[in-house]
Each structure stands twice: as C-alpha cells, then as structure tokens.
Structure 1
Amino acid sequence: MTRSAAFVVGATGGLGRESVLALANEWDGVAIGYHSSADKAKQLAAELAPGCAGWPVHCDLTDSASVGAAIAGAKAHFGQIGTVVFASGVAIEQPYVSKIDEAQWREVIETEVIGLTRVVAAALPVFREQGGGNFVIVVSVANYAFPPGDALSSVPKAAMESLGRAIAKEEGRNGIRANMVAPGIIDAGLGASYLQTMYTPQIWEAQRKKIALQSFGSGADIGEAVAFLASDRARYITGQTLIVDGGFSL
C-alpha cells in the first residue's frame, strides 16, 4: 500500500473510473474529482477496495479557483497527495480537420490543455512541499498512429504529452515525476460509445484484426497502467509515454 492519497481528475469517466479502482488497491485514499456527476462520484467512493477511503471532490477544469480548492481540499483531507492522475476529456465526435470550427478547438483546448495547466499549477507546490509526487496524464495513441478524424482529440493530447515531458525534465530535481498513458481502442468510456455508434460492426471487426493482439482493450487495462506509473514501482521512470494499445500502433 502506498501511504498517501491519489487524486484523479475526471474520475467518473470511463478511464477515470477504472484508474480510481486500480489505484484503490494500492493507496490509502483516492480523491475522486468530478465536474457534474456528484452521484457517480459518491457511488464510486463506496466501491473502493477495503482499506482505501474515497473522497468525492468537485473540480471544474475551466475554473482555476475550483481546481485550486479541490487540490488544497484533498491535501487537507488526506494529509498528503502522492499522485495526480489527469483522465478528463471532452466528449467529442470525430470530424475531419476541414469540419472543425474555432469554437470546437477552443472547448477542447480550454478543458484539456488549459485545464491540465491549472491542475499542474495547483499540484506542483504541494509536491514540492512534500519533497515529491507524480503526475500521470492520459493522452492518446493517435499521436503515434493517427486515425483520420481524430485531430480534435489528438492535437490537444500532443500538447498535454509535451507538458508532461516538460514537468519531468524541470521538476525531477524536486523528486517529481510525470508520465503519460496512451490508450488505443478501448471498450470503455468514449471508446465504448464509438464502438457502438460509429461505423459498422464490419468496419470495427476489420480494425480489430489489424491489432497485434486481435482484441480491443478494456478500461481496466488503462487503469492498471495508470496505477503502475503512479506507484513506487515506476520510481525511476519519468517523461515517458506508455502506449497501451495491444499493438495497434505497430
């Protein structure tokens, strides 16, 4: 058991939820950051592994004050925050670049990229004061194997990935790590919605056969990768992106 708490931003989403459940097996507590799904956060808190305390906390990524209050509240509640996991994202379609308007770009960039900078700004002083901590940022495999129509998701994720590397390089001297998890086609959250509503079953079957392991991933696959990078088992890993895609990007 890691003797401090984890903070998960976007904890009620498909990948955020799985990250919370995986972290709960190793951490004393998990702050369950949510924007609008308070009931889901409370339910998730009740499902955590024995010995792990769940604490739902409101966190609006478009509001610096809300983010700061959430981080400060978790620090006060648990005493220490060992990891901050950023698993939040905007629910988007998959338009081609020619079909994306400025308002769509701004919404995703404001929530994901600027939202992440707000989380980092609030958490870094806490980590420095403690003498260490780490970030795990959920990004996308699209920056390694781009599928047409994914720019609205992958372009902001590229910026988030770059920020993670910057944190790793600049803050390592303070005992602070930062790593990324890049999911492939995952049957959870937004990915599950895509599998059910986008394209035909025949197209998805053809896509599945192109994956080296011949299967789509589960939310638990991402949760376990997040938990590993957040733990002391990854104490000498920083600035890296762990691609969890079953070989999709090969």
Structure 2
Amino acid sequence: MRFKDKVVIVTGAGSGIGRATARLFAEEGAMVVAADLRGAVVETVAGQDNMLAVQMDAGAEGDVERLVATACERFGGIDVFYANAGISGGASGIFDSTAELWTEVLRVNLIGPALAIKHAGPRIVERGGGAILCTASVAGLRSGAGGPAYSASKAGVINLVQTAAQQLATSNVRVNAICPGLIETGMTVRAFEYAREVGKEDKLGRLNPLRRAGAPEEIARVALFLASDEASYVNGQAWVVDGGLSSSHPVTRQEFGKPAF
C-alpha cells in the first residue's frame, strides 16, 4: 500500500500503459483519477471504489484545468500526476508530413505534459510535495523508433522534465520521464495484431537483447517506483525501459553462443 491516502491522476488511461498504471496505483491504495479522450476509460475503473473516470483532451488547457479541479474537489488534492497520453502521428516522413500533423502531435504529446506540469504542479506543492511523470519514448533519444513528429515531441518531453525539475527546485516535487521501447498499447496494437495474423509475433522486439516486446505492466511498475518515496532522489531524469534496445548502435546482431559472422 505504497500510495495509501495519495491522490493520483493518470492520462491516457483508457488502454495500454495508462490503464495498467492506473490500476496498479489503485491496487497500491491510491485514489486514482483515470483520464482519457475515449470512453474506454470507464472500463479501466470498473468495479473500483477508489477510481474515477474522466473523459478529456490531454492537449486542451481547459480540459487539463478541469481534470485537476475535479481531482482536488473529489479527493482533496493531488500527489502524483502521470502525463501519459499521447498519439503516434502515423508513419509519415519529414517530406510528406503536413504542418497540421506536426501541430496535433506536438499539441498532445508535448504541450499536454507541459499543461499537466503547469496546472498540477502548484497543487502538488500544496500537499507538501510529490511526483510528476511524463511518458517520453526511446524515439526521443535518437532516430529509428518513430516518425519525425512523434520523435521530436518525445525529445521535447525529455527536455521538458529536466526544465521542470529545475523550476520546481526546493518544492519537493520531482519530475521524471519514462522512455518505453516497443510496448503493446493503443498506438501499436495494429502492428501486434498484424504480426499475430501472419504468424510473426516472435519478430516483435527482436532488435533488443531480450528479443521480445514489452508489456504495459512492465512500464507501470517503473512508473510506480518513480512516483514513490523509494525514488526520493531521482529527479529530472529519463528512465529507459526498452529491453536494452537503446544500449547499442545498429550492428549485426549476435546470437547467444554463436559467432557474430
């Protein structure tokens, strides 16, 4: 019960990482406000007395303000905000991406977390401190893991948490990012379903040393650690959870026990 009597907001909680994290926070005793643009967020909180579902747009300032107000009115404050909501923006390259696509991806993926910090940060300070988490991505570290708009937005998230950690200095509010690798979420589900249909599920995640994709629960456990007092000296960091994918430059992969060439 690491989060007993704590109030937690999780955006993008209608599926994938957000749903898994919201439920895990609730299991650990938190009062959880699960937010998502889609109505599926109601399924996340089904049967849970300590969870509340809210439909909202994580990139719209008015919606973020109302979300924070709802948590404070319902539960008395906020201790943790996990800005997890995001969109992929598709697979368009730089030369065929429209300005409208870039604007929407940045609005949700980067401005959304900035709004979460802006509106939730002061409320967390009022409670004596806590944590803010943002979902970035290995795509924000270097190229090769997402489209250009998505990758740029996630690189921005990494810098955002570093900047926010500095601006919240002495407040006892820690700000960190998580950089997932390939995880089955609402954004990647089509790729996973296709791989299963054609019998190539074993190919998913094959480029990392663990040779598999990750599960939402594996990211959720990292999120809970970073939000807990166990991570009291972790601040302004981007934690990579990708099976080791980003630990190497592209090479011919060596099979365990066999020569590389």
Give TM-score, length-normalised by structure 2.
Answer: 0.85
Pairing 1:234–2:231 present: yes
Work out whether residues 14 and 43 of structure 2, in 8 Å CA contact, stay in contact via their aligned partners in 1. Answer: no
SS at match of 1:215: coil
Count of residues paired in the alignment: 245
CA RMSD of aligned residues (A): 2.3
Q: Which amino acid aligns with 2:22?
A: V
Q: Which amino acid aligns with 1:191?
A: T
Work out whether residues 7 and 31 of structure 1, in 8 Å CA contact, stay in contact via their aligned partners in 2. Answer: yes
Q: Alpha carbons of 1:238 and 1:109: their partners in 2 closer, same or farther (altered >3 Å)?
A: same
Q: Which amino acid aligns with 2:27?
A: N
Cα displacement (A) at 1:28:
2.5
Cα displacement (A) at 1:210:
2.5
Cα displacement (A) at 1:111:
1.7
Work out whether residues 21 and 223 of structure 1, in 8 Å CA contact, stay in contact via their aligned partners in 2. Answer: no
Q: Which amino acid aligns with 2:139?
A: A
Match of 2:172 in 1: 175
Match of 2:6 in 1: 4
Match of 2:251 in 1: none
Distance in 1, matches of 2:203 and 2:35, equals 37
> Per-residue displacement from partner, 1:142-198 (whole Å, max 9, x unpaired)?
133421652221101111111111111221310010011111011232123223348
Match of 2:91 in 1: 94
Work out whether residues 106 and 149 of structure 2, in 8 Å CA contact, stay in contact via their aligned partners in 1. Answer: no
Work out whether residues 139 and 146 of structure 2, in 8 Å CA contact, stay in contact via their aligned partners in 1. Answer: no
Match of 1:28 in 2: 30
Distance in 2, matches of 1:53 and 1:148, equals 36
Cα displacement (A) at 1:53:
0.3
Q: Alpha carbons of 1:154 and 1:204: their partners in 2 closer, same or farther (altered >3 Å)?
A: farther
Q: Alpha carbons of 1:201 and 1:144: their partners in 2 closer, same or farther (altered >3 Å)?
A: farther
Match of 1:164 among 148, 161, 185: 161
Q: Alpha carbons of 1:68 and 1:148: their partners in 2 closer, same or farther (altered >3 Å)?
A: closer
Distance in 2, matches of 1:46 and 1:195, equals 26
Choose 13-22 or 203-212, whichever is displaced more.
203-212
Choose 148-157 or 78-87, whichever is displaced more.
148-157
Work out whether residues 4 and 79 of structure 1, in 8 Å CA contact, stay in contact via their aligned partners in 2. Answer: no
Match of 2:132 in 1: 135
Residue ranges of structure 1 left out of the alignment (5+ in a row): none
Q: Which amino acid aligns with 2:93?
A: Y
Work out whether residues 96 and 148 of structure 1, in 8 Å CA contact, stay in contact via their aligned partners in 2. Answer: no
Cα displacement (A) at 1:17:
0.7
Cα displacement (A) at 1:62:
3.8
Match of 2:250 in 1: none
Q: Alpha carbons of 1:62 and 1:179: their partners in 2 closer, same or farther (altered >3 Å)?
A: closer
Pairing 1:144–2:141 present: yes
Q: Alpha carbons of 1:146 and 1:57: their partners in 2 closer, same or farther (altered >3 Å)?
A: same
Match of 1:195 in 2: 192
Q: Alpha carbons of 1:62 and 1:206: their partners in 2 closer, same or farther (altered >3 Å)?
A: closer
Cα displacement (A) at 1:103:
0.7
Q: Which amino acid aligns with 2:7?
A: A
Match of 1:67 among 42, 54, 64: 64
Q: Indicate the structure whose relative CO is greater, using CA pairs within 8 Å and at least 6 residues apart.
A: 1
Q: Alpha carbons of 1:65 and 1:188: their partners in 2 closer, same or farther (altered >3 Å)?
A: closer
Cα displacement (A) at 1:204:
7.0
> Per-residue displacement from partner, 1:58-116 (whole Å, max 9, x unpaired)?
32234322211110110121113110001101243112211211110011111221222
> Per-residue displacement from partner, 1:31-67 (whole Å, max 9, x unpaired)?
0112231xx222211255xxx6001123223432221
Q: Which amino acid aligns with 1:102?
A: A
Match of 2:257 in 1: none
Give TM-score, length-normalised by structure 1.
Answer: 0.89
Residue ranges of structure 2 left out of the alignment (5+ in a row): 248-261
